[in-house]
Each structure stands twice: as C-alpha cells, then as structure tokens.
Structure 1
C-alpha cells in the first residue's frame, strides 16, 4: 500500500495548515469566480484623469489585472490538486472529508454516523491529512 511509505506523524503547524487548506476547498470556486469578475477589463470612455495621471503611484489598472490573473491561476492549481487528492482517497476517507471539512461537523458525529470505531476514524483522518500535506509540499 502506498501509505506505508507516508509519514503520518505531522507537526501541529503542518496539520493545522493542511486542515485549513482542506476546509477552504468549499470556498475556492467562489473565490476564483469573484477574482475573475474583478479581472475583467473595463473599457469605458472616461474624461476624468486616469490612474497614471493622478501622481506618482506604483500600480496601474493593467498591473492589478495581471496580479489578479496570477492569483486566479494559483487558486485553480490548488483546486485541481485538491480534486486529484480527493479522488485518490479511499471512499471512507472521502466521506470523512465531506462531513468533517465541507460540512463542518464534529469528529464524534462523523465517526458515529459512519459507524466506525474512533481509533479507525482518527487513523483514516491522519492518513488523509498526510496525503494532502505531501501533495502540497508541507512535509
């Protein structure tokens, strides 16, 4: 099994960072779409002074759009990686991911609903978090 080579003993910082990333998965699509809307060019005739004429400012509208496009690409890459990791997990781990991180339920409720012992639940959850941490280079 591939998880035999994976170290599931993670530091608190890595575990916290990984759990935060998994929890943010449900909001990534909305973040991406809102940034895409912000990055759309606004081509209207305007007789007011433009950003470049207002003084010695560092960013133009074009630079802001370019930065937004870079952020969008980073979020899309994160979302694709999380999708790949999610689909590579065992079905029981996918259900843990859904209930714990997407629905925000407590651990006790999750392993009770899944009808698995708490030790098994925490082992599966630890493996799942280790896979995500490995995929994102946190380990």
Structure 2
C-alpha cells in the first residue's frame, strides 16, 4: 500500500480536471441518488394479458428497473468513496474542499478567508486532489 508521504502530487491536467469535477459533484450526489430512487418504476405483478413485443420498445420494464438500480449503486459507491476520502483528510483540507468545491469560491478568496499563505494552500489542495485521484484510480 502506498504511503501518503510518497504520493505523487504531480497530476496531468486531464486527471486533475476529472478529479475536481468529481469533488464538485460531491454535494449533489445525495440528491441524485434520492431522485433516481423516487423515479424508479415499481415492479408489480400484472395479471392482464398482454401481447408479446407488440410495442417498439427495445427493453422491458424489468430491464429498465435493473439499469436504474445499477446506476443508483454506482452513485452510492462514488458517494461512499468520497465520504471516506473527505473524512480522512486534514481539517484544513476539509475546509478547503468545502470552500472551493462545495461553495464554488475562487482560490484567492479561499486562502484569504482561511488565513493561509498561498503556497501552503496550493500544496494542501494539490495533496487533497492527489488523494481523491488515487482513491478513484485516476492515477
């Protein structure tokens, strides 16, 4: 297992962009999961006779239900991973995440409000992004 001290924080722009997008979606994941659960069709027994494949559908209601369940499971897994990473970070990194990715503030405003030197802020942010990228296998 790789130690955090040896974690390479030099990331490509693509990996950094994907990771930051994922971190920004953290606050919306719970709402997405709940809305998908509410929109999921309920499978009930239907005793009406129906003609076989008369419609122009490419999949059945059961397949739609299964696909929806897989999507919900993926979002839930992503949310749980982000929770684990978030709560394993240093408190100052959690505050950076909150201000930068959840509130959508600019870097200058974040390190000014947190009374951090800009070099320290960018080092902590780079470490935080590297940890998330490693957790999701982007590196």
Higher helix share: 1
Cα distance per residue 1:59-83 (max 9 Å; x no partner): 1111011000000000000000000
**Deviation for aligned residue 1:52:** 3.6
Equivalent pair of 2:20/2:129 in contact (CA under 8 Å) = yes
Given that 2:86 and 2:94 are in contact with CA atoms closer than 8 Å, whether structure 1 keeps it comes out as yes
TM-score, normalised via structure 1 length: 0.90
What residue number does 1:8 align with? 9
Q: Any unmatched runs of 5+ in structure 1? A: none
Say whether 1:60 aligns with 2:30.
no
Match of 1:93 in 2: 93
8 Å contact kept, 1:111–1:117: yes
RMSD (Å), alpha carbons: 2.1
Alignment of 1:1-139 (within 5 A): 2-41=3-42, 43=44, 52-55=53-56, 57-139=57-139
Stretches of structure 2 lacking an aligned partner (at least 5 in a row): none
Q: How many residues align?
A: 137
List structure 1 segments (4+ residues) > 4 angstroms apart after TM superposition. 42-45
Q: Secondary structure of 2:25's match? A: helix
User: What TM-score comes out, normalization by structure 2 length?
Assistant: 0.90
